[in-house]
Structure 1
């Protein structure tokens, strides 16, 4: 793992990580290569995720799940035992290339996040492509954030987190809140964020077999489909090209061999150049959004401890400024 000055939990990937990487390269990548060629293929993947719902939605019995059905907010509250009576909260934005996924399908992340950070998690279901686009996703994220403010949380009580496309939406949300003068969250966590949908994206130039999960060429197809008829350099489309000034502390984690690694490096460099406090970690040979595999990956479980340590540092720093 590379933190650009942090301790390394594993000098090399665990045996389970090696086995999982081989399995994904032999199964998931061929499926992605086949399906990520057309809108019809993307919709087929969406159906596949729904079939996996019974596995992905499983949580320990001690975890509380409560549906949210508000006019502008759909999703669920996820609360592990340590989160009871907490005064802070996490807003979680799921990944899935904006074509598939739901808050419930990311419970392997959200329940562990609630447990590790000792606070409830609001995982929203934003509208999806191809029917909806960037403005709708931004508006859904802003509505969820404002919903939390109306529930009595302050900006300083909120941590925003997201994976992949949800990491993209996390950055869009942070930049939008700042531009609209809405109180900023305490911090943000980006897991394998997808930040650049332009043809200049370093992810599209990655070796096609480097990532055992997402071929770079197929990522390019999704980017081109989502950005048709609009500038891919618009900050709403590619937040890496946006203004990072005034954003809260960021924690960014990626796998060292995943297709989005170099884009994450570019985003981190631009955020740091703008004066943002960024903790950046590259985990050795970890796949895309590896914390979602914490049930089988020891590195996935350790990742949540790192998230907890990051947020504890940020909150301790904020308290020291007040004292």
Structure 2
């Protein structure tokens, strides 16, 4: 007597239903109402991350305390089977290689994490980095740049330049490099592009900015209008940090306000944000200014999502769909 190992009708129906759910998730477009999972995630983030940051002192000791809390969360981050990580020493800073499956080693993504320039790390961002590698078919070099309160955004920019020069020295052509950053990392992405342009260094093929904090002075209207609908960032805390970083600096310095820099000549740019977050107008503004400067800029605004919602793609369907949009943008930019 033999036993059949082929799936029965119920198993086939369940598999087909799961495939349809995955297909619907990946097919999501900006403009629709947030899913139930997104709404749940929003409330959890407001009750945990936003509240913890809101209650932390603004002093250097308070920033360090938040770093320790986030560091403890980062130690819990793991990667699924088929994903590899490897450290990379860059001298004054470090980085981490993240590879999902067998990516095309001829191309690479340089990822600059968020965290208001005082927290965050490649390890914290592993759930994001491996999805970015999987979606783009490239290895990701996640930069662990130096953080406040011991360091400044200018130090972070120096580290980003070091990482970019490292990739060119490793044999990557500029047209095979993509730079991606979120929040403060989105600011750092634009500052890096402007600094590379001023130095005459070949620019990367494209850049992706997710919920970028492009004006550290926090002067856009959405910093005021979206305070109640922002699920992750305490507006007052972010503005105070920005003023601290910009103290004594020229308000038009593109390192601190790339929104006011000369964006002409930059590579194709994708900007993604939530319509509910305080950085919405930062994202809108940089996309509009880039287009006015002749840059091919794609802007997506998703309704009712948390700040940098692709970071929560493990739970939020819209986050998973965002990676498809990023991959499609890069394919079009390359073409």
Provide closer, same or farther for how the CA distance between residues 296 and 180 of structure 1 changes in structure 2, counting only shifts above 3 A.
same
Number of residue-to-residue matches in the alignment: 308
Partner of 1:151: 170
Q: State the alpha-carbon separation in 2 of the partners of residues 216 and 295 from structure 1.
A: 26
Correspondent of 1:26 among 33, 47, 50: 47
TM-score, length of structure 1 as denominator length:
0.91
Q: Is 1:49 the counterpart of 2:70 in the alignment?
A: yes
SS in 2 for 1:103: coil
Deviations 1:232-255 (A, max 9, x none): 331111111111010000011011
Q: Is 1:15 the counterpart of 2:48 in the alignment?
A: no
Q: State the alpha-carbon separation in 1 of the partners of residues 295 and 47 from structure 2.
A: 39
CA RMSD after TM alignment: 1.6
Q: State the alpha-carbon separation in 2 of the partners of residues 43 and 21 from structure 1.
A: 25
Q: Where in structure 2 are there 5+ consecutive unaligned residues?
A: 1-27
Deviation of residue 256 (structure 1)? 1.2
TM-score, length of structure 2 as denominator length:
0.88
**Which 10-residue stretch deviates more, 169-178 or 124-133?**
124-133
Q: State the alpha-carbon separation in 2 of the partners of residues 197 and 204 from structure 1.
A: 11
Partner of 2:89: 69
Provide closer, same or farther for how the CA distance between residues 157 and 91 of structure 1 changes in structure 2, counting only shifts above 3 A.
same
Contact 2:109 2:178 in 1 (8 A): yes
Partner of 2:323: 304
Deviant stretches of 4+, over 6 Å: none
Q: State the alpha-carbon separation in 2 of the partners of residues 176 and 310 from structure 1.
A: 24
Map residues 84-123 of structure 1 onto 2, 5 A cutoff.
Answer: 85-123=104-142
Partner of 1:215: 234
Partner of 1:58: 78
Q: State the alpha-carbon separation in 1 of the partners of residues 214 and 44 from structure 2.
A: 27
Deviation of residue 161 (structure 1)? 0.3
Larger Rg: 2
Deviation of residue 200 (structure 1)? 2.7
Q: State the alpha-carbon separation in 1 of the partners of residues 48 and 166 from structure 2.
A: 40
Provide closer, same or farther for how the CA distance between residues 258 and 36 of structure 1 changes in structure 2, counting only shifts above 3 A.
farther
Partner of 2:15: none
Deviations 1:272-304 (A, max 9, x none): 110110010011111011111010011111110
Partner of 2:59: 38
Deviation of residue 17 (structure 1)? 0.6
Deviations 1:10-47 (A, max 9, x none): 62111001111122223332222212633322221111
Provide closer, same or farther for how the CA distance between residues 149 and 168 of structure 1 changes in structure 2, counting only shifts above 3 A.
same
Contact 1:197 1:232 in 2 (8 A): no
Provide closer, same or farther for how the CA distance between residues 105 and 262 of structure 1 changes in structure 2, counting only shifts above 3 A.
same
Q: State the alpha-carbon separation in 2 of the partners of residues 53 and 199 from structure 1.
A: 28
Deviation of residue 166 (structure 1)? 0.5
Map residues 239-258 of structure 1 onto 2, 5 A cutoff.
Answer: 239-258=258-277
Correspondent of 1:277 among 282, 296, 313: 296
Q: State the alpha-carbon separation in 1 of the partners of residues 174 and 303 from structure 2.
A: 34
Q: State the alpha-carbon separation in 2 of the partners of residues 116 and 53 from structure 1.
A: 22
Contact 1:68 1:74 in 2 (8 A): yes
Q: State the alpha-carbon separation in 2 of the partners of residues 39 and 201 from structure 1.
A: 26
